[in-house]
Structure 1
Amino acid sequence: MQIVIFTIGTEGDVRPLVALGVGLQQAGHRVRIATDPQCADLVIEHGLEFAPLRGDFQHWMRSDKKAMSKALSPLAMASAARRRLKSMAATWPAQGLRATQDADLLIGNGMVFHLAAALGEYLGLPVAETQLVPTLPSHQPPLLPLPEWARSLPGPFNVALGHATQMLIWHILRPAYNDVVRPALRLAPYSWLGPYTYRPRSHLRLFAYSPTLVQPPADLPANVWVTGPWQLEEGSTWQPPAGLTHFLNDGPPPVYVGFGSMIGPDGGRFADLALQAARKTGKRLVLAAGWGGLRSDDDNDDGRIFRIERAPHDWLFPKMALAVHHGGAGTTTAAARAGIASVVVPFFGDQPFWGHRLQKLGVAPRPLDRAGLTVDGLADAIASADSDDMRRNAMALGERMRAEDGLAMAIAAINGLGIKSRSHG
């Protein structure tokens, strides 16, 4: 069948859906991914069809420094995200309709699930939902950035906070869908309470996070699957630069430092801090620039630093001693699967949640405050993550996570829908 996947966000929001698309294509389906043009090459180079869908998060992070400086404040980010998503949504109905040509099944990921749902409602097509993070209310603390004391609340309080988090997410999305998308498709708007409360939610819902990292809620309905993560396996085909191979072979495993798609005004400061912490701990360093431009003018590295733009995590992380990163869901999963400990410096959203999960599992020290980060604080965290106990815990966690096969479970669930491909002439 022809499957169309909708996803926007940072590269971390797109790569797992590309992995799912590759798996579905290998299972005999045709796959088109609608996402922002900045990720077009990622989609096409993996043999999938690309369709444009506006989601210019890189531009947003670069241009709205005020919002990014308050990125760990849920209410401040909610206000900024409401405005930005409503503006983005202006092109979604037309782009979405073009992307759905010949479609048999629509899959909507994260914040654009409701776009797929609206298009499915308008066109009479089945819809499935994917989420990369545990958004279902449970006895675990929710994804919201929380003060330290709120991470030890009894289970029922966490369930209530989880429902509140869902409603906050809906009210961030509501202007985009009720004011823009649904009127353009001649569909009635949702109520103030949104689809979470009054519409039956019988569609297939796939949650691509590791049940080893976060225990799923008990007694999930039959239409909800926690599959495990969807990983793009690029390590077997990626050719590293010769200098990186020489650097890795020329000493003990280094520390990885990289913040992926995160962009802040202080990339140079972070790079300098990392270099100084490396000197203080005596560690070698692989510094990944990423979207955020993690670069330094400090050339006095004594051959202990190797700088790269990026490298596939499944190739690089098993060769590292540990990873210093932002705590994004994808990077967190990759480090844990590789069996290495982490030092987490959250930037926004769900990143404090993942940092605290790793801490609770004994594979990371307490997440570090980005604004107050110091050389001594980073050096102490690296030393803690490099301890014997954390190394043992990380190796055991990685072994359990590598036994998960999230893609196989997701593909089985999608095939289980029994949707027949229509004749497309």
Structure 2
Amino acid sequence: MRITLFSVGTQGDVRPFVALGCGLMADGHEVRLATGRDSEAMVKAHGLDYSPLNADFLEIMRRDPKALQKGLNPIAFVRTARRELSRMADGWSKDGYRAALGADLLIGGGMVAGLAASLGERLEIPSAGAHLQPVTPCPDIPPMMLPPPKKPRPGFVNTGLYHVCQLLVWQMLSPAYKTVRQELDLPKASYWRTFHSDNAHKIKHLYGFSPTLLPPSPHWTDSVKVTGNWLLEERNWQAPDDLLAFLDAGEKPIYVGFGSMLGEDIEAFTLNVIEAIQLSGKRAILATGWGGLSPDAVNPQEIFVLNSAPHDWLFPRVSLAVHHGGAGTTAAALHAGIPSVVVPFYGDQPFWAWRLQQLGIAPPAPLRHQLTAPALARAIKQASQLPMQITAAALGEQARSENGIQTAIDQLKAWELLPRSSAS
């Protein structure tokens, strides 16, 4: 079969879809991934066909550094996202059509799940959703878009809040999809049609997170499957000699990195982080990523600075990870069996920080805009304690026993979206 995957966002959002695409390709299928130019090299390096889709999130963060600060306030963030997505979606119908043409199955992730569904409707191709966060309403899991509760909510409150979140999502996405559906000559979308029609309930959804991290709700139907993480292995990556030397020079360091996150006052934030590392007494590896940390502020004696390194290689070699709580980094820390200290920036990150704390493998998450060096140092020391280390190691072993990619493929076959035979 010919399969087109759609994913936009930072590299942490796209990497799981590259991993899923590699699994589908190994199962005998021709796989194309439609995503932004920032991920083109990664897609091609793993042997997948690449199709461009307008989705430059780095440019958005550079243009509006305050955008992430709004991310912990869903109402404020919806206004920003509504404007930016309307701009980004210019060309989605044409680029998406080219990517989908000739495919037998479309799989769309996150905010472009609707694009895959619309293209499937236009071309009469089956489609499915694929997500890295829970979005299906239920009474037992709080909505990930909202600040996590300090104590459990009644089930009916959670269910009601999911519908509030769906309205927020609709407000965010509807201007972009109004244009997309007009250009594809499809009926106008509505809130009800998108979330509550019979057709909406028939759409299949794969969830690419670990059931060890978040067990599936018993209230979800057979159209929803939590598969486990879709982890991309970088088998050909070679660690630089100076990194290997630093790792060998003493006790396991901690990892500090915030991936693709950008914000204001990067140098001041970095100095805060460095002071916290020094107060904790730990050696550290500092990953600058897209620029969320400034290498110019670092004293290299006990802190090794790098741009990035594959988490599946690095995390088993560190004692804990200080990170932003993105789905991919959270999954990597879980699988490595190490505790986390999460400083969330926006979106689903507070939710994953809350889940890690619930499981006993992360202290309470300090807020970025209130972060102080002593508070971060205390969190690092708490995550370094033996009970949290033991719990993290046990959960890591459990998570590593899962095979999220194969489970996803098996489920697509069970839904008859892929043939039972591996022949394409």
The residue that corresponds to 1:210 in the other structure is 210
The residue that corresponds to 1:36 in the other structure is 36
Q: Secondary structure at the match of 1:248?
A: helix
CA distance in structure 2 between the partners assigned to 1:162 and 1:372 by the alignment: 28
Pairwise CA distance, 1:297? 2.9
The residue that corresponds to 1:409 in the other structure is 407
Q: Secondary structure at the match of 2:3?
A: strand
Pairwise CA distance, 1:205? 1.4
CA distance in structure 1 between the partners assigned to 2:328 and 2:251 by the alignment: 26
CA distance in structure 1 between the partners assigned to 2:98 and 2:86 by the alignment: 20
> Residue 19 and residue 140 in structure 1: after superposition, are their counterparts in 2 closer, same or farther (change >3 A)?
same
Pairwise CA distance, 1:276? 1.5
After TM superposition, the structure 1 stretch with the greater mean CA deviation from structure 2, 345-354 or 82-91, is 82-91
CA distance in structure 2 between the partners assigned to 1:308 and 1:12 by the alignment: 17
Alignment partner of 2:397 out of 396, 399, 409: 399
Pair 1:46-2:46 in alignment: yes
> Residue 306 and residue 38 in structure 1: after superposition, are their counterparts in 2 closer, same or farther (change >3 A)?
same
Pairwise CA distance, 1:279? 1.6
Deviations 1:244-298 (Å, cap 9, x if unpaired)?
0010011100010000011112322232222212221210000000013412434
The one-letter code of the counterpart of 1:266 is D
CA distance in structure 1 between the partners assigned to 2:191 and 2:358 by the alignment: 37
Q: Please list, as runs of the form range in 1=range in 2, the aligned pairs for 1:160-239 lying within 5 A after superposition.
A: 160-178=160-178, 180-200=179-199, 201-234=201-234, 236-239=235-238
Pair 1:145-2:146 in alignment: yes
Pairwise CA distance, 1:237? 2.6
Pairwise CA distance, 1:146? 1.7
CA distance in structure 2 between the partners assigned to 1:51 and 1:369 by the alignment: 37
Q: Secondary structure at the match of 2:147?
A: coil
The residue that corresponds to 2:316 in the other structure is 318
Q: Secondary structure at the match of 1:33?
A: strand
Residues 256 and 320 in structure 1, CA contact (< 8 A), matched pair in contact too:
yes
CA distance in structure 2 between the partners assigned to 1:22 and 1:110 by the alignment: 19
Q: Secondary structure at the match of 1:15?
A: helix
The one-letter code of the counterpart of 1:277 is A
Q: Secondary structure at the match of 2:369?
A: coil
Q: Please list, as runs of the form range in 1=range in 2, the aligned pairs for 1:261-410 lying within 5 A after superposition.
A: 261-301=260-300, 303-410=301-408
Deviations 1:320-357 (Å, cap 9, x if unpaired)?
11000001111111101111001100000111111111
The residue that corresponds to 2:84 in the other structure is 84
- Please provide the CA RMSD for this pair: 1.6
> Residue 124 and residue 420 in structure 1: after superposition, are their counterparts in 2 closer, same or farther (change >3 A)?
farther
Residues 6 and 116 in structure 1, CA contact (< 8 A), matched pair in contact too:
yes
CA distance in structure 2 between the partners assigned to 1:107 and 1:197 by the alignment: 20
The one-letter code of the counterpart of 1:55 is A
> TM-score normalised to the size of structure 1?
0.95
Pairwise CA distance, 1:307? 0.5
**Runs ≥4 residues deviating over 6 A:** none
After TM superposition, the structure 1 stretch with the greater mean CA deviation from structure 2, 207-216 or 249-258, is 207-216
Residues 82 and 175 in structure 2, CA contact (< 8 A), matched pair in contact too:
yes
Residues 325 and 353 in structure 2, CA contact (< 8 A), matched pair in contact too:
yes
Pair 1:19-2:19 in alignment: yes
The residue that corresponds to 1:108 in the other structure is 108
CA distance in structure 2 between the partners assigned to 1:123 and 1:91 by the alignment: 17
Residues 89 and 176 in structure 1, CA contact (< 8 A), matched pair in contact too:
yes
Residues 8 and 35 in structure 2, CA contact (< 8 A), matched pair in contact too:
yes
> Residue 110 and residue 418 in structure 1: after superposition, are their counterparts in 2 closer, same or farther (change >3 A)?
closer
CA distance in structure 2 between the partners assigned to 1:376 and 1:192 by the alignment: 46
Q: Secondary structure at the match of 1:5?
A: strand
CA distance in structure 1 between the partners assigned to 2:49 and 2:129 by the alignment: 20
Residues 287 and 308 in structure 1, CA contact (< 8 A), matched pair in contact too:
yes
Q: How many residue pairs align between the two structures?
A: 417
Pairwise CA distance, 1:214? 1.1
CA distance in structure 2 between the partners assigned to 1:418 and 1:191 by the alignment: 26
Pairwise CA distance, 1:300? 3.6
The one-letter code of the counterpart of 1:109 is G
Q: Secondary structure at the match of 2:229?
A: coil
Pairwise CA distance, 1:116? 0.8
After TM superposition, the structure 1 stretch with the greater mean CA deviation from structure 2, 195-204 or 314-323, is 195-204
Pairwise CA distance, 1:219? 4.5
CA distance in structure 2 between the partners assigned to 1:204 and 1:164 by the alignment: 22
After TM superposition, the structure 1 stretch with the greater mean CA deviation from structure 2, 203-212 or 107-116, is 203-212
Pairwise CA distance, 1:415? 3.2
Residues 207 and 225 in structure 2, CA contact (< 8 A), matched pair in contact too:
yes
Deviations 1:23-43 (Å, cap 9, x if unpaired)?
000110000000001110010
Q: Secondary structure at the match of 1:143?
A: coil
The one-letter code of the counterpart of 1:6 is F
Residues 67 and 76 in structure 1, CA contact (< 8 A), matched pair in contact too:
no
Pairwise CA distance, 1:113? 0.9
After TM superposition, the structure 1 stretch with the greater mean CA deviation from structure 2, 338-347 or 153-162, is 153-162
The one-letter code of the counterpart of 2:56 is D
Pair 1:69-2:61 in alignment: no
Q: Secondary structure at the match of 2:370?
A: coil
> Residue 72 and residue 412 in structure 1: after superposition, are their counterparts in 2 closer, same or farther (change >3 A)?
same
After TM superposition, the structure 1 stretch with the greater mean CA deviation from structure 2, 244-253 or 187-196, is 187-196
The one-letter code of the counterpart of 1:185 is L
CA distance in structure 1 between the partners assigned to 2:198 and 2:267 by the alignment: 48
> Residue 420 and residue 230 in structure 1: after superposition, are their counterparts in 2 closer, same or farther (change >3 A)?
closer
CA distance in structure 2 between the partners assigned to 1:299 and 1:406 by the alignment: 38
Deviations 1:361-390 (Å, cap 9, x if unpaired)?
111110011011111111111000001111
> TM-score normalised to the size of structure 2?
0.95
What runs of 5+ residues in structure 1 fail to find an aligned partner?
A: none
CA distance in structure 2 between the partners assigned to 1:418 and 1:350 by the alignment: 29
